[in-house]
Amino acid sequence: MNNNFYNIPEDWYQEFNNNFNVTNKQMDPSLADPKEAFLRGNLFNNLYDPYKNYRYGNLKPTNQKEELLYNILMYKFALIELNLYLDTHPNNSSMINLYKKYLMEEKKLCDQYENTYGPLTVDSENLGTNSWNWIKSPWPWEGTK
């Protein structure tokens, strides 16, 4: 790969790849659980570098609706991180399987939320066919009324 095309300094590129500890045997990087990854903003333990003495906070949902949204966002974040990893390591079957596992969990949580509280997005399958349900209840970011 020609790193100069992307203007990536060679020393940074080498450090990045060394942190993943990836070899031809496709060793898997060490991963945080989705909750910790979401809170700290990084799924990969080898790439997490805390800023000075900064401690990330623990989010505390106050009701079931907030907890469902929190868990959905947590899995969406992990899926994005795994997607980025798989873009550069497309043959890593264990990471593909983990991606599929998290995708199923995220889908289950979205279905649970939408069946209880209404659609999360305008392209949701739970919009219904007889009326435009998207505007009938508070939007996910509005909270409860």
pLDDT, mean over the chain: 80
C-alpha span between 69 and 113 (Å, rounded)? 8
81 vs 124: which has the higher pLDDT: 81
| Per-residue confidence (pLDDT) for residue 18, from 0 to 100 | 61
Partners of 44 in the β-ladder: 31
Give 116's contacts (C-beta < 8 A, 6+ positions apart).
Answer: 64, 65, 68
Taking 90 as the threshold, does the pLDDT of residue 34 lie above it?
A: yes
pLDDT band at 14 (very low <50, low <70, confident <90, very high): low
| Per-residue confidence (pLDDT) for residue 29, from 0 to 100 | 82
| Per-residue confidence (pLDDT) for residue 113, from 0 to 100 | 92
Taking 60 as the threshold, does the pLDDT of residue 26 lie above it?
A: no
The arithmetic mean of pLDDT across residues 125-143, rounded, is: 64
Global confidence as pTM: 0.71
- Which among 36, 34, 38, 51 has a CA at the least distance from the CA of 102? 34
Structural domain spans, the chain: 31-49+57-121
Taking 60 as the threshold, does the pLDDT of residue 55 lie above it?
A: yes
- Look at 44-58, 105-119, 130-144 and tell me which has the smallest mean pLDDT: 130-144
